[in-house]
Structure 1
Amino acid sequence: MDAMRIDGSERDLASFAAGVLRSAAPIEAPTPFERRVRWDLRGNTGLISAFTLRSGISVAAVRCRWEQAAAMVIDHAPMVLEFVLSRGPVMRVRSSDGDDHLLGGGTFHVGQVKRPMRLVCEWDESARGQDQDNICLTIDGRRLRELLGAKVLPAPIERVVAHTGAYPRAAQAMSPPLYRLLDEIIGCDARGLSRQLYLEAKGLELMAAMVDLLEEGERAASPLLSQHDIARLERARHILLARMVDPPTLPELARHAGLNEVKLKEGFRVLFGAPVFTYLRHHRLDEAQRLLRQRACNVTEVSQRVGYENPSKFAAAFRKRFGVSPSTVG
């Protein structure tokens, strides 16, 4: 496979389309500050949205789904600091200097490419049918100090900057605020000027949350959650959302995820910031709000599509979450 080239702090979408997708996928421009490219190759689908904020932060938000094993080759140029969130199936990343690490499974890392290198990203059959969400924020270290109002960067970030290796990183598990912000950025459906304002605010909030997490010096999930636990909790979340209309029971969900019920309930609350069925309810209502804004269905149809048999109960839950009646949305 040909390589995708990345120069500086932003993804080169045209290069991605030509080199990795091997197609002249059109570059969309939904706003003056944002560019997108979509693909659908033999069932492997995805969307990359890249935008630069006035704060000096560049953001690339990616959602993809793999229906078969796949690989991507990236020629990576030296760059400023990058902060990466990655949720979903695990992706193995091998670099030309012999480094080997994993992304996905609810991980967060800050790193810096110090010299040109080639990265090979691989997904195996275990990723089939699952969404992988990634957000990459890049920013110059001096600009980050200005935003923080500090003379020096936080110690974990400063160690990355000072390290002489080709691609130093500091990595840990994502926290509940990072999961929330990942959803809010990737799922943003604001348009026009409000979209830019919304993403400006969320980009800064995400940067602040990542800096706070690094400064705390603790694993985001919990010392009680291993990477093995996190991967299985991610599997549980995927199963739960895939069966949104007809959700499994807790014992069934625990069995499919390879966890006991206690670990499922405790781990889900720690990792995703809410109990299992509270998380599902919030997801249902968020999806309903999205559908109503798109005017894709009427209120009754939307309630059924997100798993509510009783439209009155749906309307009451919607008002409780959003403070307005579903009939007023869109």
Structure 2
Amino acid sequence: MHKLLTLDLREVQRELLRKNFVRSSEALGPTETIFRTKEHGYRRIDDSILLHVLNFEAGRPYSLDMARRGLVCIQIIIKGTYSRWLNNRADLVNSASIQISNMPRATSETEAGMTLRGVLIACERQYMLDHLGLNVDCVPAAYRPIFLSETGMAETLKLPTSPSAISIADQLISCELAEPLKTLYIKAKTIELICEIVSRINMLSAHRPCRVQSTDGKSQAIEAAAAIYRREMFRPPTIEQLAFRVGLNRNDLTDGFREIFGTTPHSYGMMIRMEQAQNLLRNGGLSISEVARRVGYEGYSSFSRAYQAHYGYGPSLSSEPEL
């Protein structure tokens, strides 16, 4: 039997005027058996925007009845699925698309054991129009009530996912900074994600029906994984961690890297680190030990062996000035 939870995002938003984070247990009551995770709650981005990060396993089946009047909700899922009802219209929320809706009430159901990774951004509808530059004239007429009407519409505006959107969502989910840097980082990344989505909405054709075109979700996940390697070369994730973060299994991740980059994830990550190391060495100004540290090696010896194996010569030759 599903555990019934009720949530009013407007009440959460009012509470966020006093503090930066509201735990789910404060808004929903005891949730320890429902959301298996270190942190589950709602974060203030500014007076008009809040963020909810999904990064948990459902410990038991639950239904969430959410009141969200006047808010445009943007949902990006990297891993997992759940069912959602908007005015008795059922929809499946998964990684196939970015979903944008504004019905005053939504009900979702999640099954026990489901792992969900993603983000929900709730933004005041009028704020999107007045301060974020959303151009409603670019939105197909059938979907304009999402941005123009308080009562909303049961239909959801769906945009294709993109490697950059997946990458930013992953950065929000994976942020391990301590405060106050964590709050500043999450606010900046949330605004970056909103800017990308508003920009994409503004490029829609108002004269064409808006349908999510068929996209290769696996290829986009692989591109996002490659971006993680480039961004985190100083502390690269394991293949298992990388696969989890982009919503693939290990075999799909490995096969995808071979198809797109012609190599394994490990070899791709090594190539990125060695190319960065070579650039740093050629630019001069840093010792070999410092270059090693910047690309994720704890000591000179292990870095030197890896560099020799990759290029066929040691890092000292790369650091010598050209004659």
In the alignment, which residue of structure 1 is the partner of 2:5? 4
> 1:126-275 to 2 correspondence within 5 Å?
127=114, 131-149=115-133, 152=136, 155=139, 158-162=144-148, 166-217=153-204, 225=215, 243-244=239-240, 256-257=251-252, 265-266=259-260
CA root-mean-square deviation: 5.1
Amino acid of the residue matched to residue 137 of structure 1? I
1:107 to 84, 92, 97: 97
Q: Which whole-Å CA distance do the structure 2 matches of 1:177 and 1:10 have between them?
A: 32
Shift of 1:122: 2.9
Shift of 1:150: 6.0
Shift of 1:190: 2.5
Question: What is the TM-score when the length of structure 1 is the normalising length?
Answer: 0.57
Q: Which whole-Å CA distance do the structure 2 matches of 1:32 and 1:43 have between them?
A: 22
Shift of 1:199: 2.1
Alpha carbons of 1:151 and 1:33: their partners in 2 closer, same or farther (altered >3 Å)? same
Matched-pair contact (CA < 8 Å) for 1:59–1:137: yes
Matched-pair contact (CA < 8 Å) for 2:222–2:256: no
Secondary structure, aligned partner of 2:131: helix
Any stretches of 5+ residues in structure 1 without a counterpart? 15-28, 248-252, 285-302, 318-330
Q: Which whole-Å CA distance do the structure 2 matches of 1:186 and 1:49 have between them?
A: 12
Secondary structure, aligned partner of 1:81: strand
> 1:25-40 to 2 correspondence within 5 Å?
32-37=19-24
In the alignment, which residue of structure 1 is the partner of 2:49? 57
Alpha carbons of 1:86 and 1:276: their partners in 2 closer, same or farther (altered >3 Å)? same
Secondary structure, aligned partner of 2:88: coil
1:123 to 111, 118, 121: 111
Shift of 1:10: 6.4
Shift of 1:89: 2.0
In the alignment, which residue of structure 2 is the partner of 1:25? none
Any stretches of 5+ residues in structure 2 without a counterpart? 26-30, 206-211, 227-236, 274-292, 308-323
In the alignment, which residue of structure 1 is the partner of 2:81? 90
Higher-Rg member (1/2) = 2
Q: Which whole-Å CA distance do the structure 2 matches of 1:211 and 1:142 have between them?
A: 14
Q: Which whole-Å CA distance do the structure 2 matches of 1:283 and 1:90 have between them?
A: 33
Shift of 1:35: 2.9
Aligned pair count reads 254
In the alignment, which residue of structure 2 is the partner of 1:72? 62
Alpha carbons of 1:188 and 1:49: their partners in 2 closer, same or farther (altered >3 Å)? farther
Q: Which whole-Å CA distance do the structure 2 matches of 1:54 and 1:187 have between them?
A: 21
Q: Which whole-Å CA distance do the structure 2 matches of 1:152 and 1:169 have between them?
A: 15
Shift of 1:280: 5.9
Question: What is the TM-score when the length of structure 2 is the normalising length?
Answer: 0.58
Matched-pair contact (CA < 8 Å) for 1:92–1:123: no
Alpha carbons of 1:74 and 1:283: their partners in 2 closer, same or farther (altered >3 Å)? farther
Q: Give deviations 1:140-191, integer Å, cap 9, x for gaps.
A: 1221223224675752663423576653311133211111111211222233
In the alignment, which residue of structure 1 is the partner of 2:319? none
Q: Which whole-Å CA distance do the structure 2 matches of 1:6 and 1:162 have between them?
A: 24
In the alignment, which residue of structure 2 is the partner of 1:287? none
Secondary structure, aligned partner of 1:47: coil
Alpha carbons of 1:244 and 1:152: their partners in 2 closer, same or farther (altered >3 Å)? closer
Shift of 1:83: 0.8
Q: Give deviations 1:62-112, integer Å, cap 9, x for gaps.
A: 20124x7x532122224211111111122233x274312111225311101
